Amino acid sequence: MDFLLYLYCLFFGIILIAPFVLFYYKFRLDESPFGKDEEAFVRPIAEKKRNMLDSLKDIRSDFDSGKLTEEEFQSQSLPYIEALDTIEIELKDKKLKQTNVNLLQTPKINENWTCASCGSFVAVPNAKFCPNCGTGRLA
């Protein structure tokens, strides 16, 4: 009689624990239930880029509201533009390593250019982003 009691307890325990084990292996924490994200390797870099662009937009709004002068605006936006350049290079490197495809050479960039989005003249040498609106030069 004790043998059947142990067998039934074991069987009942397996029935109780099996859904949790199956759920754990089916929906792991490191994976999405909708499949693997192909762009997950560039997500942190893209987040840095979004943060830098938001900071640049904040500086622009301070300049538009009159809190900053033209010189202060240029001096405060220059480090963000340089950081955006390095982030853009890092993002391209990550994508190149992931896809193992050789990218075409980037077009030659003149030192002075006019932004296509806001129309302002950018006199920052080798700038790939507009200091006024944050739009990429080659976008």
In angstroms, the CA 34 to CA 31 distance is 8
Q: What is the pLDDT of residues 81-103, one digit of tens each?
A: 999 999 999 888 887 777 654 34
In percent, how much of the chain has pLDDT > 90? 35
Alpha helices in the chain (DSSP H): 2-26, 43-65, 70-99
pLDDT of residue 23: 83
DSSP code of residue 41: G
pLDDT, residue 104, reads 47
Q: How far apart are CA 102 and CA 10, in angstroms?
A: 59
Least confident of 23-32, 33-42, 105-114: 105-114
Query: How many C-beta atoms surround the C-beta of residue 56 within 10 A?
Result: 22
Instruction: Give φ, ψ of 65 to 5 degrees.
Output: -80, -5
**Cα–Cα distances in Å, from 33 out to 17, 40, 42, 99, 130?**
21, 14, 20, 24, 39
Q: What is the pLDDT of residues 31-57, one digit of tens each?
A: 555 556 667 777 888 899 999 999 999
